[in-house]
Amino acid sequence: MTINGRTLHQVGLPYHFGGRGLVKGDVVNDLVAISQEPNVRIMEAKALVCSVHVSTSYVARKPV
């Protein structure tokens, strides 16, 4: 997507992986602060903005 002449990238991440444990490791919910309504227990965070940078200390690893 291009906005005001700058290329912007969108990243979609699933919030939940279900009860079967299809994915191991951290979940995306760890990235956002939990803010819940006292009577419905639904997260208010529907989207967030972040800045992603390439790490200068990146070490290539074999895929798991």
Q: What is the pLDDT of residue 5?
A: 92
Q: How confident is the model at residue 52 (pLDDT cuts 50, 70, 90)?
A: confident
pTM score of the predicted model: 0.26
> pLDDT exceeding 70 applies to what percent of the chain?
27
Q: What is the pLDDT of residue 1?
A: 82
Cβ–Cβ under 8 Å, residues 25 and 31: no
Query: Whose CA is closest to 16, among 42, 37, 40, 52?
Result: 42
Distance (Å, whole) CA 39 – CA 52:
35
Q: What is the DSSP secondary-structure string of 23-42?
A: S-S--GGGGS---B-TTT--
Distance (Å, whole) CA 39 – CA 36:
8
Mean pLDDT of 40-60: 65
Mean pLDDT of 5-11: 83
